[in-house]
Amino acid sequence: MWFLLVLILGTGALAVWMWKRPDPVKRDQAKAEYHDLWIEQVDAQLKHAARLSSDPEHPNYERAYQIYQGLAQQQEIPQAYVGMGLMHLQGLGHEQNTEKAISYLDKAFRLGSDEAAYHLGQIHEGEAYQQADPEKALYWYRHAVARGNLDAQYRITELSSAEDHQNEMIAEKQRLALFIQNAGQGHANSQYQLAQYYLADSAAQDLVQGIHYLFLAARQDHLAANQQIADDYAHGQILPQDLTQSLQFIKRCISLGDQKGLYDYYAGVLQGRIDPDQRQRVFQHLLQQSKDHADAHAKALIGLAYFHGWYVDKNETMAFRYWSEAANSKHVPALCIIAALYFEQHLVANEPQKAFELYQAAYRLSPNDVSAQMGMALCYLNGIGTAKDTGKATQMIQSAAQQYWQIVAQSEADLIYSVGRFYSLAEYPLSTRDKAVQYLNQAVAKGSKEAAWFLYQALSGIYPVFSNNAELANRYLHQAAQLGHAQAQAEVGLKYLKGQQIAQDIALGLSYLRKAAAQQNSVALNALGEAYEQGQGVESNIEQAVQYYQQAAAQVNVDAYSHLGRLYTKGIGVERDIGTARDWLEKGSLLGHERSNELLKNVNAYLQMQ
């Protein structure tokens, strides 16, 4: 009887436990989610600490170290020990201490960090930390390689070749083979290094491959790759000039912990170039930084916003107030702005000698600052606040122009153009850009095709401080084309060819395109390919079209990428090759080209059906 009662009670308890117990599937899912969340939180803290220690304006080494220390002590996170080790190694927030750095890196290595082994190899490879020992360096690099660190693999190759100079050529080939192998496996730094190899001005130069690997690395959040792409878009080097795209990549760099472009991004937001819905938030943040942290950079940007009417109503008095506060803390851009106000005798007393004094103070603080160089040059040129010295002025203009705008200013036209570019800067406090236009017009009159092209861009709305004037912009476009500017010739040629904003003249359009194509302009080469494929103004010739497309693609023209992808897909003018088609379309898609992306989807769908 008692046995039966115990059995009944036990069965009941088991039933209740089965009913109350958590679903094992849900339990395991909850554990997984918690684990994922924990990983995300740790990763976020590590990135935050890295940002705090690398902020060029307001680094917070103490807080960064606290975060690393907390993660190291509480969770034994190897990356945290690496962070602490590198801060001691570089003397960030602490006195430089190589022994302590080695201790922390060794601890990280014993916790499984390949990165720690790589840095230990770096310490022993060079003389910088007075720990040079090639054998130890190789020892640590081999440990790093054993844990999958590919950068260490390259260092082993370098050290091995250094021991035998006769085998340097063999070592170079081995290094390239390693780059290609590891890049194909998705290693971001290998992709970046391959990009540098192919983009370098050498016999091995291949712009298509170089840009492709650069974007592959950037897609994997490789910081230097994103920085390089932002710079290429800003200056129109290899990639077409696109200031909005440049800001997009600057934004990505910021998210990766690089704060150098933060205020360029903020300026772009206030101008409405990027993330216009964030204008209020950014302006309020700048005000808070200015008030709570006396951030001179924020004050200078708030001053520009008030001066130009970016997001807020124009108010030159408020602009001057913020600039003065920033200049009082020896902020170089603000010093140059106040100096320019004295130079122009605007908003300040008539004391032109102060212009030179302030420019000189800014130059001493930052000799490479373009505004400080150009401002002092103009003072020397005009004898304002100092003795007139044309030779010194010319040297300073040439130096600033080469450094900031990549202008080799040899002729008088080049020098005048450089001055026009200086007066075109948003940081130069002019209520209108008439002075800039005056100098740029003088340069055009003396034969500067670059000045004519810049005026076309400026009056078309590319630069925010100029007023749009489509009619005048079109006139400068034609002047630039007549003076031999390749991109201007391509744009004028397309306008005539397609009858855009001008009476259609196919023969004249083709003439301009051929002139631009002779200068290897990719837009013109691609347009000629389209003309020969479609038989527009010329007899249809698909073979000639393919040649033009290939030449355009070699100059990184994404429209040509999509044309080649389409032709190889269908076997038009070329032997049908789906692999080659897919390769071109993947390259175009990676660069954000919509047509390439559409065609790639079609190719992939076709392959899935096979």
The per-residue pLDDT for 176 is 84
Higher pLDDT: 413 or 610? It is 413
The pLDDT-based confidence of 23 (bands split at 50, 70, 90) is: low
Structure tokens at 139: 């020892």
User: Is the pLDDT assigned to residue 153 strictly greater than 80?
Assistant: no
pLDDT at 26 over 80: no
Q: Please classify residue 33 by burial: count the beta carbons closer than 10 Å to its beta carbon, then call 0-12 exposed, 13-18 middle and 19+ buried.
A: exposed
Give CA–CA dist 478/488, Å, rounded. Answer: 7
pLDDT band for position 33 (cuts 50, 70, 90): very low
Mean predicted confidence (pLDDT) in 127-156: 80
Work out the average pLDDT over 251-278.
94
pLDDT at 128: 74
pLDDT (0 to 100) of residue 148: 72
Q: Answer yes or no: is pLDDT of 186 > 50.
A: yes
Give the span between the Cα atoms of 106 and 116, in whole angstroms: 7
Sequence-ordered list of residues with C-beta below 8 angstroms from that of 589, at least 6 positions apart, any chain? 596, 597, 600
> Is 594's pLDDT higher than 90?
yes
Q: Name the percent of the chain lying above pLDDT 90.
A: 65
Residue 229, pLDDT > 80, answer yes
- 96-100, 522-526, 599-603: which range is least confident on average? 96-100
Q: In this predicted structure, what is the pLDDT of residue 315?
A: 97
What's the CA gap between 80 and 85, in Å, rounded? 9
**Kindly report the CA angle at 331 between 326 and 335, in degrees rounded to 5?**
85
pLDDT of residue 32: 40
Most confident of 8-22, 136-150, 567-581: 567-581
Average pLDDT of the segment spanning 113-120? 88
Rounded Cα distance between 96 and 384, Å, is 46
| Each residue's pLDDT tens digit, 495-519 | 999 999 899 999 999 999 999 999 9
| Average pLDDT value over all residues in the chain | 90
Taking 90 as the threshold, does the pLDDT of residue 560 lie above it?
A: yes
Confidence class for position 34, pLDDT limits 50, 70, 90:
very low
Q: What pLDDT score was predicted for residue 54?
A: 78
**For 571, what's the count of Cα atoms within 13 Å in the CB-facing half-sphere?**
3
- Coil/strand/helix, residue 369: coil
Q: What is the pLDDT of residue 74?
A: 87
> What phi-psi label fits residue 93: left (phi over 0), alpha (psi between -120 and 50 degrees) or beta?
left
Q: How far is CA 508 from the centre of its chain?
A: 38
pLDDT at 27: 47
Token pair recorded at residue 466: 């100029």
From the CB of residue 361, how many other CB atoms can be counted at a distance below 10 Å?
Answer: 16
**What are the domain boundaries of the chain?**
2-32, 484-549, 556-610
Q: What are phi and psi of 499, to 5 degrees?
A: 65, 40
Contact 556, 207 (CB under 8 A): yes
Task: State the pLDDT at residue 75.
Answer: 85
pTM over 0.85: no
pLDDT tens sequence across 318-336 = 999 999 999 999 999 999 9
Multiple choice CATH, 484-549, 1.20.1250.20, 3.40.190.10, 1.25.40.10, 3.40.640.10: 1.25.40.10
Looking at residue 420, its pLDDT comes to: 98
CA separation, residue 153 to residues 81, 143, 188, 249, 328 (Å): 23, 10, 14, 30, 50
* Alpha carbons 102 and 85: distance in angstroms, whole number: 7
pLDDT surpasses 80 at 260: yes
Q: Report the C-alpha gap between 578 and 571 in whole angstroms.
A: 9
Q: Which long-range contacts (CB under 8 A, 24 or more apart) does 466-470 make?
A: 466/424, 466/433, 466/436, 467/433
Q: Are 213 and 229 in contact (CB under 8 A)?
A: no
How would you class 233 by CB atoms within 10 Å of its CB: exposed for 0-12, middle for 13-18, buried for 19 or more?
A: buried
Which is more confidently placed, 568 or 21?
A: 568
Per the model's pLDDT, the better-predicted residue between 172 and 184 turns out to be: 184
Distance CA 96, CA 65 (A): 14
pLDDT band of residue 223 (cuts 50, 70, 90) is very high
Catalogue the long-range contacts made by 122-127 (C-beta closer than 8 Å, 24 or more residues apart).
Answer: 122/155, 123/89, 123/98, 125/155, 125/159
DSSP collapsed to 3 states, 3-54: HHHHHHHHHHHHHHHHHHCCCHHHHHHHHHHHHHHHHHHHHHHHHHHHHHHH
Percentage of the chain modeled with pLDDT above 70: 91
pLDDT tens digits for range 343-400: 999 999 999 999 999 999 999 999 999 999 999 999 999 999 999 999 999 999 999 9
